[in-house]
Amino acid sequence: MDAKGALANAFDVVELGFEPTPVAANLFAMTMSTEDSLREYLRLFVKIPLLGRIGPLASTFDFVADAAPGVKEILGVGKLCYEVREQHYDLIVVDAEASGHIVSQIGAPKVIADLVQVGLVRDQTQWMLDILDDPARTGVAVVTTPEEMPVTETIELLGRLRTETGAHAAGVIANRVLPLVFNRREQRVAARLDEALPLLVDAVGPGAATVVEAARMTEARRRTGAGHLDRLRAALERDDHVRDDLPIVVVPELFTRASGPRVVSLVADTLDDELDPDTLDERHRRDGSTDGGGRSGKVGDR
């Protein structure tokens, strides 16, 4: 939904446009354009054929959109809902706006439906609401990281999502979660490494002290992140507007600077493992641990 070009870089393809572009087998990608969405809307629903740029009509639209809430947003959401309604794809995944904008974006049809109670506009928004409010057809997967501010924003977003938009959260994806450095037995050994540090330096060289300190810092960061995920989990359990079994799916830190198809494959493999039924059963049995993991489950269609 943004124009940063991150999706094209992720799949190592040329710049994406409004027309769907194949990026892998049975996988297409596109970027959202308000002007192209308006052109398509006028062609499909108002039956106005348009060639080239919209020109003066676009200027008029921008003036109206700035004055009326939800007009620009509903074109983007409407395009996505239209693709769902027409069943052009098996699954539609949306890289949506950040948490500060997603509520107004998803809630645009509801805002306009509340403003206009009858007529063509009401009819055009009602079918979108039927799609967005149906948890079997639409689910919002909220992505966060195990840090204080992202977790706080996630808790606030989940609280607003259902009440202000009608849409359902399908799951939370905790990204860049640090792995466990030491198990419980190793933690006791690591706590006493200072006593043996001279011997380690003699055995492997002066870099041993740096490695030990780096391991301790990483473990401290992991424990802090696990605490934030525990806070998130506790908030979900208290929120009456969030389903009781809302899953938290963990994607570990990849420790790589690279971007592109390789990173996409690594993340996809991790999600596949997280959503495996055997993994789900095991995760549910040990739910509540502070090892950086959390509840897993199906992330709904989006």
DSSP state of 141: E
| Confidence (pLDDT) at 91 | 94
281 vs 91: CA distance, rounded Å: 26
Question: Are residues 98 and 164 part of one domain?
Answer: no
Q: What per-residue string of b and e applies to 72-90 under the rule 16 or more CB within 10 Å gives b?
A: bbbbbbbbbbbebeeeeee
In a domain, 200, yes or no: yes
pLDDT tens, position by position, 121-163? 677 788 999 999 999 999 999 999 999 999 999 999 998 988 8
- Which residue in this structure is represented by tokens 């809302």? 246
Residue 299: partners with Cβ closer than 8 Å, 6 or more residues away? 139, 141, 170, 171, 173, 247, 249, 271, 275
Question: Are residues 161 and 88 part of one domain?
Answer: no
HSE of 32 in the Cβ direction (CA atoms, 13 Å)? 19
In a domain, 3, yes or no: no
3-state SS class at 33: coil
Give the residue numbers spanning the domain of 84: 32-132
Question: Are residues 125 and 154 part of one domain?
Answer: no
Cα dist from 187 to 87, 191, 207, whole Å: 53, 6, 21
pLDDT tens, position by position, 161-193? 888 888 999 999 999 999 888 887 887 887 778
In a domain, 204, yes or no: yes
Instruction: Provide φ and ψ at 244, rounded to 5°.
Output: -65, -35
Mean pLDDT of the chain: 80
| Confidence (pLDDT) at 201 | 84
In a domain, 13, yes or no: no
The residue ranges of the chain whose pLDDT is under 50 are 63-64, 67, 288-302
Question: Are residues 126 and 179 part of one domain?
Answer: no
Closest CA to 96 of 160, 32, 51: 32
In a domain, 7, yes or no: no
Question: Are residues 238 and 177 part of one domain?
Answer: yes
Residue 7: partners with Cβ closer than 8 Å, 6 or more residues away? 16, 29, 31, 95
Identify the domain boundary among 132, 155, 176. 132
3-state SS class at 23: strand
Helix (H) / strand (E) containing 86:
helix 71-86
Number of domains the chain is built from: 2
Question: Are residues 91 and 105 part of one domain?
Answer: yes
Question: Are residues 154 and 295 part of one domain?
Answer: yes
3-state SS class at 177: strand
The percentage of residues in the chain with a pLDDT greater than 70, rounded to a whole number, is 79
Question: Are residues 157 and 125 part of one domain?
Answer: no
4 vs 118: CA distance, rounded Å: 38
190 vs 253: CA distance, rounded Å: 22
pTM to 2 decimal places: 0.78
| Confidence (pLDDT) at 234 | 93
Identify the domain boundary among 64, 99, 132. 132
| Confidence (pLDDT) at 244 | 74
| Confidence (pLDDT) at 64 | 47
In a domain, 286, yes or no: yes
